[in-house]
Structure 1
Amino acid sequence: MCITLFCLLFITFTISDVFSQDLLHGECKNPDYVPKDSFQLAFEEKRDLNPFVFTNNLVPEALKLDLKSEDTPSANDDNVKVAVGRNFYDMVVNNGKDTIVALYAPWCKYCQALLPQFDNLADMLKNENVAVVKMDASKNEVPANYDVPSYPTIYWASRDSKYFPKKYEGPRTAQAMLKFIALHSTHELKTYDRRGSLKSMSIYNVGSQNIDKIVSNKVI
């Protein structure tokens, strides 16, 4: 009887674990995705990402009104920053930081599994010069360089290469994304080495209340 119960519990937890892992690897098709030809791509790159156009406020009002966007958040103080169509340039392209951005849809189960991992990642990087950003791409227009054929789509935009973001294709766990960022960051992270391992805490002035949290997030 005990052996049978143990076997049932083992099978249940194994299936649950496999299902949870699947949620961190799958994707939902973007029903609104339309591949762009080279002419359209070139036009949208100039319209959406040209720093001269944005900094000098030369975007025509008609284009601004036509831009698909939620309202800009009045407060954006969480570790994961929220981008919308109207502030994407400020939050991602012109923030002066290496940036990882998740483009998601709230109805997608794989995105629902990703967002808590993104929260954990942002907590781990809160003392680094790295921006962790998310945007509901189903409700906001995405610049041409940040294509979204499926949800979630994650891009790594290094500080000096915002116009040529790299699509993140690795596991969608906080630990895996941290390792990727530690390896590809413009400058080595303060808290983690290039392998994503926690550096010696004796080097840093770390408050006692944060030590347990940092150790619990250590990447092996």
Structure 2
Amino acid sequence: MRLSHLLFPATLLAAATFVAADEASDVLDLTPDNFESTVNPEPLILVEFFAPWCGHCKALAPHYEEAATTLKEKNIKLAKVDCVDQADLCQQHGVAGYPTLKVFRNGTPTDYTGPRKADGIVSYMVKQSLPAVTEVTAANHEEFKKADRIVLLAYLSSPTEAPGPEFTETANKHRDDYLFGFTTDPKAAEEAGVKTPAVVLYRSFDEPRIDYTSHVESATVSELETFVKDHSVPLMDEVSADNFQAYSQSGLPLAYLFLDPTDEKKDEYIKTFTPVAAKFKGKVNFVWIDAIKFGDHAKGLNLLDSKWPSFVVQDLQQQLKYPFDQTKDVTVEAVSELVTGVLDGKIEPTLKSEQIPATQDESVYVVVGKNFDEAVLDDSKDVFIEFYAPWCGHCKRLKPTWDSLGDKYAEVKDRIMIAKMDATENDLPPSVPFRVSGFPTLKFKRAGEKEFIDFDGERSLESLIEFVEEKAKNPLDPKTPWNSAKQAAATQEAFEVPEGHDEL
């Protein structure tokens, strides 16, 4: 059963690719002979650099074909380069992975940063074809309001009327994200039922129209950005790789409802929890997510059982996770209580941690979530710690060097700790003032200090030793007398505030 489930999408994709191959393609094929003559005259063209064996390229192919057909009607061309047959051409354009998509304007390339589904590609390229702000009249007013998922329209008496300049600046910053327009046509303003100046957001979901109700004449770029971001996501949308960035950029916690998409009650669950999403709008973003497709993400959010529906709140800024107890039923009341507790700071995050090692026999100390504070925040020691992922190639290459660094300071383990932590299996406690976003991440904390110093140098043993010798507070020569207990007391005393004095 599981095997057929996995094969079905691949079979469907193969069929779609086969059909597309039989039909005339609207995607142009580029070679060294026709690349410049095809690309350079175009004011706008999207080029995909692909490899036939690449799985991501195969998944993109039907969407790319569909987008090419749709965009053909708008005189926007899509093209592709086979990097197996045309290796030199791909190397010439700096292609390092597949697929690589680039937007060319009269031969000048920029990276494509949009979605990879047909409608997303169309939306992105239409935005690229337009000025940052499109002039709208009564004749195309209705059409423009529905031209994209998010449309921001300024109604002005003249292009220079406030907040016209701020509106244009906002559009220039976010032309890839939203569609912006302005109109000075009185009939369009009358049609919209507004008096100039006014700013209205139109969208294809939830409440279709949101009016900017603050002091529009004095609206700043920052305020306009906040307005559009606050209303750019649905109350309860499905989250995936295509739209996750929008949620991440919002800065708000993200509440996931994990659902089995084959569950006949799926739509009922979404409808049930949408009012909860409305209750916390502007404070927490709510989404539902495919629990079968993204089961590993559920585990990463500390949902340990494959029981759906399940619910978890994630603080995206601090990477803290607040999973709902999976032994209990997910109800509106329970979810509301959890979210309120998270916002009020009354609920502690759930920290993933491996078991504390029974022994520490190696020269590199193994840190886990449960002993991080005790081990790494020990004021008596300098600490140099590597945060790694078992699958990370750079981490694997660093391991023998890091082990050698541990051996180098094995005789002074009471003064300096060379440590490592598997950041995929252990969460950092909230007390730590940073989050790990790449691997390996190397951090140094001097004895008696709270600050963590980044190591960004060459990962050779010589460079690591030089860095340690420069940053360490404790003496690292084994021949230098050392009393760690006495040093710890002295460090603590240095941080104490004398009686009668206030801290700054």
TM-score, normalisation: structure 2: 0.26
Q: Tell me if 1:156 matches 2:440.
A: no
Partner of 1:137: 423
Q: Tell me if 1:190 matches 2:456.
A: no
Tell me how far 1:38 sits from its aligned partner.
11
Tell me how far 1:188 sits from its aligned partner.
3.8
Tell me how far 1:37 sits from its aligned partner.
5.9
Q: Is the 8 A contact 1:182 1:188 kept in 2?
A: no
Name the CA distance, whole Å, in 2 between partners of 1:181 and 1:132. Answer: 10
Name the CA distance, whole Å, in 2 between partners of 1:171 and 1:145. Answer: 24
Tell me how far 1:77 sits from its aligned partner.
2.0
Relative to 1, partners in 2 of residues 1:167 and 1:113: Cα closer, same or farther, differing over 3 Å?
A: same
Partner of 2:386: 102
Could you report, residue by residue, the CA deviation over 1:130-160 in whole angstroms, capped at 9, with x for unpaired residues?
Answer: 1001000011002442421100000001012
Tell me how far 1:115 sits from its aligned partner.
1.3
Could you report, residue by residue, the CA deviation over 1:86-141 in whole angstroms, capped at 9, with x for unpaired residues?
Answer: 11111211262000000000100000011111100010111222100100001100
Q: Is the 8 A contact 2:381 2:417 kept in 1?
A: yes
Partner of 1:85: 369
Tell me how far 1:172 sits from its aligned partner.
1.2
Percent of pairs with identical residues? 28
Name the CA distance, whole Å, in 2 between partners of 1:35 and 1:111. Answer: 28
The amino acid across from 2:423 in the alignment is A
The 5 Å alignment of 1:31-70 reads: 63=348, 66-70=350-354
Q: Is the 8 A contact 2:369 2:427 kept in 1?
A: yes
Tell me how far 1:189 sits from its aligned partner.
2.2
Among 438, 446, 465, the alignment partner of 1:178 is 465
Name the CA distance, whole Å, in 1 between partners of 2:354 and 2:396. Answer: 19
Name the CA distance, whole Å, in 2 between partners of 1:91 and 1:158. Answer: 13
Query: Structure 1 stretch 99-108 or stretch 173-182: which is displaced more?
Result: 173-182
The 5 Å alignment of 1:107-122 reads: 107-122=391-406
Name the CA distance, whole Å, in 1 between partners of 2:351 and 2:451. Answer: 22
Q: Is the 8 A contact 1:91 1:133 kept in 2?
A: no
Tell me how far 1:184 sits from its aligned partner.
1.2
Relative to 1, partners in 2 of residues 1:170 and 1:122: Cα closer, same or farther, differing over 3 Å?
A: same
Could you report, residue by residue, the CA deviation over 1:45-91 in whole angstroms, capped at 9, with x for unpaired residues?
Answer: xxxxxxxxxxxxxxxxx748x21111111111211000011111112
**Unmatched 5+ residue regions in structure 1?**
1-30, 45-61, 192-202, 205-220
Name the CA distance, whole Å, in 2 between partners of 1:187 and 1:76. Answer: 22
Name the CA distance, whole Å, in 2 between partners of 1:154 and 1:133. Answer: 10
Name the CA distance, whole Å, in 1 between partners of 2:376 and 2:453. Answer: 13
Partner of 2:454: 167
Q: Is the 8 A contact 1:146 1:155 kept in 2?
A: no
Could you report, residue by residue, the CA deviation over 1:13-59 in whole angstroms, capped at 9, with x for unpaired residues?
Answer: xxxxxxxxxxxxxxxxxx9xx789699779x7xxxxxxxxxxxxxxx
The amino acid across from 1:87 in the alignment is N
Tell me which of the two structures has the higher relative contact order, counting C-alpha pairs closer than 8 angstroms and 6 or more residues apart: 1
Name the CA distance, whole Å, in 1 between partners of 2:250 and 2:403. Answer: 32
Name the CA distance, whole Å, in 1 between partners of 2:382 and 2:469. Answer: 11
Name the CA distance, whole Å, in 2 between partners of 1:160 and 1:75. Answer: 26
Q: Is the 8 A contact 1:97 1:158 kept in 2?
A: yes
Secondary structure in 1 matching 2:369: coil
Name the CA distance, whole Å, in 2 between partners of 1:159 and 1:189. Answer: 12
Secondary structure in 2 matching 1:71: coil
TM-score, normalisation: structure 1: 0.57
Name the CA distance, whole Å, in 2 between partners of 1:125 and 1:152. Answer: 21
Relative to 1, partners in 2 of residues 1:188 and 1:134: Cα closer, same or farther, differing over 3 Å?
A: same
Equivalent pairs, count: 145
The amino acid across from 2:446 in the alignment is S
Q: Is the 8 A contact 2:351 2:428 kept in 1?
A: no
Name the CA distance, whole Å, in 2 between partners of 1:116 and 1:130. Answer: 19
Q: Tell me if 1:126 matches 2:410.
A: yes
The 5 Å alignment of 1:191-206 reads: none
